[in-house]
Amino acid sequence: MIYISSQQLQELHRHGEMAYPRECCGLLLGTCEGEQARVTEVWPAENAWDEESAVQFEDVEDSTTSERRYTIAPELMLAAQKTARDRRWQILGIYHSHPNHEAIPSECDRQWAWPEYYYLIMAVRDGQAGDSRCWRLDERRQFQEVLIDRSIDGSIDGSIARA
């Protein structure tokens, strides 16, 4: 289960709407005890996907466009890691949008996912954020859906969260 406040989720949705039609991306920082993760801070990132990124992932379909792919600059990852360590948190995972697609991981998402991370994906259709769903790799490297719980601010939505 991942705990995220409605305000944090709305921040993610705004980021997705502002980035549309490109994918937005960012990091989720917080604490984790066993299978219980709590988002403490959201770190929006610029989608750094470019032609150089596409060359590194040349086997990925539609790899030349940031409307279908994202990457986070290594410098931001390092800064987030340092901040998390200083605050006794960790990077819990990555969020990104799927413009005009469902909030379901793509095969590319699965291939490049890290097993210890949570992946919060939001659908953004015609510039409007919709469903957000969270995923994590299992031991067979298949995504399993993770419950999103907003009860830290009084609302529980089950596995699908809406702003």
Pick the CATH number of 2-153 from 1.20.1260.10, 3.40.50.720, 3.40.140.10, 3.30.460.10: 3.40.140.10
Task: Judge whether residue 161 has pLDDT over 50.
Answer: no
Taking CA atoms, 159 is separated from 25, 68, 162, in Å, by 20, 24, 10
- Which two three-digit tokens encode residue 54? 């596409």
- The sign of the dihedral angle between the CA atoms of 115, 120, 123, 127 is negative
The residue ranges of every structural domain in the chain are: 2-153
Per-residue pLDDT tens over the stretch 108-147: 899 989 999 999 999 999 999 999 999 999 999 999 999 9
- The pLDDT mean for the chain works out to 87
CB atoms within 10 A of CB 128: 11
Alpha-helical regions (H) of the chain: 6-19, 51-56, 74-86, 107-112
